[in-house]
Amino acid sequence: MIDADLTWSGHQIYDSSSIDDLISQCDTLNSSDGDHDKSAGPFTVFSSTVNMVSPPRGPPSEMGQILDDLQDDHLRDSAAFLFHHYTSFIALNMMPFKDRRNPWQSFYPLMARCGSSRGHKSLLHAMLAQAAGNLAHLGCKKEYMSTLTVKYYALAIENLRKGLEDQQEDFSVVLASVLTLIMIYNGKSNSWRLHLNGGWDFICSQQANTPWHSSEAAWLTSQSLCLLKIRCDTMQTHINHPADSTIPALDPTHHLISSVASRADFGFTAGASPALMSCIIETTQLSSLISQRGGLSTHQTAISQLYQRLQACSYPKDSPGQYLVRLHHRIFQLGAIVYFHRSIWDSRPNALIPYIEELLQAVKEYQQLGGGYVTLWPVFITAVEVYLPQHKLLVREWLNECETMGAASRKDIRELIEAVWRKRLEIRQHMGGEMEQGEIVVEWRGVMWEKQLDILLV
């Protein structure tokens, strides 16, 4: 006899209203849309065509009770509107292209609605804070939305703290809440990094149980945190590792990410592949090893092998996918190649021209084809090495497009990129113009610290 409890162990249990909401996600405006235009859910096989977008419904399930408990009328009255903004605008922009598996469109809203624990409350309040902050940066009732952001953010922190103290919170809900808090980026504040470190400590404390293998929601949230960790580690000047003549693969971080990355779709929410993300990790580790334990000659074999694998990390030819998906993967790969050149070989900007040119043209094509917002990391890593006027123009066009998404980090990104460019020009002028700008290396991390910025590269 089949044991139903064992069959559905580790899966979210939905009530009838949530199931109805999942089924409603099957409706699309155009039945000819590709796979990447469908929402994620167990009923997406039932696809139908509708003539108009349904108006936002009131909060179903436990979400209504959570909002009823709010003491502030402004918070309670704004919740439905903010939740709709999150699901209809923010969630779409959390991935670089449309994908039916987008967790911010499916799992996050469902987890926020389908529970009344402290963790569920924290996630819901964090999502509403992110929505309010986004609207503030877009110029919609800026002061009012900024106030709502702070209030919802405080509620999210309070509920998450109390929920963790109870030690009974669902793993997926906790990570989803932390990840959402990270996204509530507020300019020069480094609070996002505190949340990232706290989330990483939390997932490391659960490593022995490998909860990311227990459910899809657990894996998706774990994957998102790992992708954040990988990119944020590239912002550090060095990471300590024991001495070894090969690329280090030894610390808890490596083992944890390797476990989460065992699935073939690891990296899909960032528009990258497992092999490409692995190369970025190893580049960071190898760069640290070289700076601490010796010069390039000592690690020549590891360097050569890693660079060959990085160049071979093209989008799998036998994998189905739209052209935009393949194009975005190439953008990410080019950014990783630039990162390798700068981190390992300390290449000058003029040696990177072929990669800079191809990446910026690919970004322009991606935008012209109606793709979403390109993942920030590969373009930023390349943009700080730009020095030719025609390339600066392309970077500024990309930044103009980025700022329409209403993320505070984009303005800081522009400030930092422009500061690096000015620094390169100042160095050339200080040297009496004896060196071309393309020969001048500027360490963008140093400029970032001088500007007292701590940017979020997502």
Whether residue 36 has pLDDT greater than 60: no
Residue with the larger pLDDT of the pair 289 and 292: 289
CA-CA distance, 247 to 227, in Å (whole number)? Answer: 20
Residue with the larger pLDDT of the pair 70 and 20: 70
Bridge partners of residue 28, in order along the sequence: 49
Cβ 284 vs Cβ 233: under 8 Å: yes
- pTM tops 0.85, yes or no: no
Number of neighbouring beta carbons within 10 Å of residue 355: 20
Q: Identify the pLDDT of residue 441.
A: 95
Whether residue 180 has pLDDT greater than 60: yes
Q: Which residue has the tokens 């601490």?
A: 292
Give per-residue pLDDT as tens, 300-314.
899 999 999 999 998
Least confident of 205-219, 262-276, 279-293, 384-398: 279-293
Domain ranges of the chain: 72-219
CA-CA distance, 296 to 248, in Å (whole number)? Answer: 15
Going by pLDDT thresholds of 50, 70 and 90, the confidence category of residue 318 is low
Cβ 142 vs Cβ 136: under 8 Å: yes
Cβ 318 vs Cβ 352: under 8 Å: no
Whether residue 186 has pLDDT greater than 80: no
With the C-alpha atoms ordered 244, 248, 249, 253, is the resulting torsion angle positive or negative? positive
Give per-residue pLDDT as tens, 326-351.
999 999 999 999 999 999 999 999 99
Q: Which residue has the tokens 């096989």?
A: 45
Residue with the larger pLDDT of the pair 113 and 24: 113
Q: Identify the pLDDT of residue 239.
A: 43
Q: Which residues contact residue 235 at a Cβ distance below 8 angstroms, ignoring those fewer than 6 apart?
A: 445, 448, 455, 457
Q: Between β-strands 48-49 and 27-28, what pairing exists: parallel, antiparallel or unpaired?
A: parallel
Q: Identify the pLDDT of residue 187.
A: 53
Give per-residue pLDDT as tens, 82-138.
999 999 999 999 999 988 899 999 899 999 988 778 999 999 999 999 999 999 989
Whether residue 23 has pLDDT greater than 60: no
Cβ 71 vs Cβ 154: under 8 Å: no
